[in-house]
């Protein structure tokens, strides 16, 4: 036998702390997740596949993942900008913006859901502005690239292109996107911000003394340093978005096949006491989140191996 399971230590409380930790962990996390996995094992991979391969389930899973990906990508770009602005610049109102970044963590999702719906619904403040002014203006502006493209495309035998922005935000996929951006907003910003604080100014100065322009420095020196943290935040924000329920169901419209997300299907199946179907969809979502967890860990291992820190 090699290393002992627990090294001897003069510290008191081993039994008590280990006992509480392992009991709570088993009761709250391991047993319930185990129940789901067992349920899944009882009808096998083929059974799970049959359930999730039905059109309504498949579309819901695909919709959840697709819009979550868009939202996480938006948050990746916006979060890095936000972290940079908050860490590096001083301007009036900086502290308020900084505190506001955490609001999506603190504000209950149901509250966020009804508030976003109130704003972005066709009769809400932003929704009405979009429907009556912004969307028509964008559609007119989009006629220009469509016209230019059609100059080439139509003689080549393609059908004429028409670009149009969606007419409504709430009760359609753009609404889901906005809700998912909201709930994932803090992840990238809050993982990247401490890394920016740790960058030594001398490294940036070194780049400048070697003749690099500021943009070159940002792209070749600073971005590679921020990337592991940004990707971690991206994966966290994606995982959160795929599983998000509360903020989305109010704004989505929940039309089957069109704007119905996967977590909502779980709830619907449970309300109809279809435990097997609910479990199958639940397992599919669990697999997605475990895959995401794995990705996060791989990013950190890769980053640590390459540059000695996360």
Binding positions for another protein, 138-177, rule CB under 8 A:
none
- Closest separation in Å from C-beta 206 to another protein: 4
Instruction: Round to whole Å and give the CA distance between 162 and 174.
Output: 19
C-alpha 92/C-alpha 239 separation (Å) is 34
Please state the closest distance from residue 185 (CB atom) to another protein, in A. Answer: 7
Does 301 bind another protein (CB under 8 A)? Our answer is no
123 binds another protein (CB under 8 A): no
**CA 258 to chain CA mean position, Å:** 20
Which residue is it, tokens 């910003």? 189
- Report the residue from 52, 61, 72, 86 that binds another protein according to the rule CB under 8 A: 86
Find out whether 261 and 252 touch, Cβ atoms under 8 Å.
yes
Of residues 155 and 201, the one with the C-beta less far from another protein:
201
Torsion of CA 16, 20, 26, 32, to 10 degrees: 170
DSSP 14-44: HHHHHHHHHHHIIIIIIHHHHHHHHHHHHHH
- Sign of the Cα torsion 271, 276, 279, 284 reads negative
Q: Which window, 50-58, 112-120, 148-156, 166-174, contacts another protein (CB under 8 A)?
A: 112-120
100 makes contact with another protein (CB under 8 A): yes
Contact positions with another protein (CB under 8 A) in 235-274: 236, 239, 242-246, 250, 263, 266-267, 270-271, 273
**298 near another protein, judged by CB under 8 A:** no
Nearest distance in Å: CB 246, another protein: 3
Is 1 one of the binding residues for another protein (CB under 8 A)? no
């Amino acid at each position: 036998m090699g290393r002992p399971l627990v090294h001897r230590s003069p510290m008191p409380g081993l039994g008590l702390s280990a006992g509480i930790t392992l009991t709570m962990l088993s009761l709250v996390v391991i047993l319930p997740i185990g129940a789901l996995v067992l349920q899944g094992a009882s009808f096998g991979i083929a059974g799970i596949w049959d359930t999730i391969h039905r059109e309504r389930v498949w579309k819901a899973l695909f919709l959840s993942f697709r819009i979550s990906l868009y939202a996480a990508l938006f948050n990746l770009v916006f979060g890095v900008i936000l972290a940079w602005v908050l860490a590096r610049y001083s301007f009036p109102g900086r502290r308020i913006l900084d505190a506001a970044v955490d609001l999506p963590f603190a504000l209950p999702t149901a509250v966020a859901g009804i508030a976003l719906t109130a704003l972005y619904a066709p009769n809400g403040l932003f929704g009405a502005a979009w429907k009556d002014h912004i969307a028509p203006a964008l559609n007119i502006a989009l006629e220009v690239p469509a016209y230019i493209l059609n100059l080439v495309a139509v003689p080549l035998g393609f059908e004429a292109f028409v670009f149009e922005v969606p007419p409504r935000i709430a009760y359609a996929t753009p609404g889901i996107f906005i809700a998912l951006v909201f709930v994932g907003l803090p992840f990238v910003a809050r993982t990247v911000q401490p890394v920016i604080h740790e960058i030594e100014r001398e490294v940036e100065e070194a780049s400048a003394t070697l003749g690099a322009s500021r943009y070159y420095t940002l792209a070749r020196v600073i971005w590679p340093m921020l990337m592991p943290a940004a990707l971690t935040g991206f994966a966290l924000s994606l995982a959160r978005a795929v599983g998000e329920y509360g903020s989305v169901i109010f704004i989505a419209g929940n039309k089957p096949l069109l704007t119905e997300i996967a977590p909502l299907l779980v709830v619907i199946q449970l309300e109809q006491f279809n435990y097997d179907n609910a479990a199958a969809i639940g397992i599919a979502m669990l697999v997605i989140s475990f895959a995401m967890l794995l990705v996060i860990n791989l990013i950190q291992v890769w980053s640590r191996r390459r540059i000695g820190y996360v």
